[in-house]
Amino acid sequence: MMLTGRHFGVIALMAIGCNAAQSLDSAPLPMTEVQKQTAVFLDELSVPSPGEVFSALNKACRPNWATLVTPATAPVTTERPQLALAVGVLTANGYVAVEAQDGQQVKNVGREMMTLAKSLGVSQSLMGRGNSLMEFAESNDWEALADELEATENEVKNSMVDQKDRDLVTLTSAAAWLRGLEVATGVVLSSDSLKGAAELHQPELARRLASQLDALPDRMKRGALVPAVKRTLETTASLLADPETKGDVLRKHLTKIHDDCSTVVKAILSSSTALSSPGSVTIPTTPSKS
């Protein structure tokens, strides 16, 4: 199966549409200042979803998605930034499970996302979504399941905005993209000819996400995790910047990106006790070198 293109910017349309009660043939109503601010903010966060990245890979090569499925386990933590990052990682894992047509794993992802949403205080409107994920997984309705997974993620993020937690959306989007990039680079590196590498060339997006993380309030950047995500994005941008890179050099760069993404994703999904145990989880503390 191949997912259709999807985009996190859908939330911006939802935010506008939910507040614009008008008929299709009437003149558009002027946006209020609140709506303008919301639309501008969310548009800045528009990044390709993991589903879009995986769809592009499906066109370039034929990944064995079943081998890329990983267990869905939410971290045990009270840190809201880490919980938001984990939502992004689990969302990407859900798209992998849909591509692999692994219904049980999709259900596992759905349950873990509900757990994270509850911890973030945004779960009240999501119980129906969770039930739908289970039902579609039981009936092997993969297209509907992909749509429902996207809708669930968008609803979590929309709820974050509603409760004035827009910074959490930034973290969720960055983590989802990095986890998708980890999977995608692994797929490309499994090919002797690095088939599909051109689909990963998005240095400006990596820079923009890093810049948005840098602009977060200091309280959101305490500890090692969020700064490590930002540095991983900066390194990724640097390594992807030269579109003429080929052969062994390209393989070296993609391997570095894959390893860095794997390290930070592991840290995101590690519980607080693991993160505080010396040597149990390695988080880079200095920018990586190519």
Residue whose tokens read 């929309």? 158
Q: Is 104 exposed, middle or buried (0-12, 13-18, 19+ CB in 10 A)?
A: exposed
pLDDT the model gives residue 133: 75
Task: Answer whether residue 27 shows pLDDT above 50.
Answer: no
Closest CA to 146 of 92, 186, 188: 92
Question: Do residues 268 and 83 touch, judged by C-beta distance below 8 A?
Answer: no
pLDDT the model gives residue 258: 97
Q: What confidence tens digit (pLDDT) does each residue in 55-89 have? A: 888 888 889 999 999 987 889 999 999 999 999 99
Task: Answer whether residue 35 shows pLDDT above 50.
Answer: no
Structure tokens at 219: 């309280």
* Partners of 7 in the β-ladder: 48
For the chain, what are the domain ranges?
39-275
Q: Of the given ranges (40-44, 83-87, 231-235, 241-245), which has the lowest mean pLDDT?
A: 40-44
Question: Do residues 272 and 76 touch, judged by C-beta distance below 8 A?
Answer: yes
Task: Answer whether residue 49 shows pLDDT above 80.
Answer: no
Please report the DSSP string for 64-109 in residue order. -GGGG-----------HHHHHHHHHHHHHHHHHHHHTT-HHHHHHH
Around Cβ 238, how many Cβ atoms within 10 Å? 19
Task: Answer whether residue 4 shows pLDDT above 70.
Answer: no
Counting residues of the chain whose pLDDT is more than 90, the rounded percentage is 40
pLDDT confidence tier of residue 193, bands split at 50, 70 and 90: very high
Torsion of CA 110, 114, 116, 121, to 10 degrees: 160
Q: What confidence tens digit (pLDDT) does each residue in 156-167 have? A: 777 777 777 788
Task: Answer whether residue 131 shows pLDDT above 80.
Answer: no
Task: Answer whether residue 235 shows pLDDT above 70.
Answer: yes
Q: Can you tell me the mean pLDDT for 171-198?
A: 94
Question: Do residues 167 and 182 touch, judged by C-beta distance below 8 A?
Answer: no
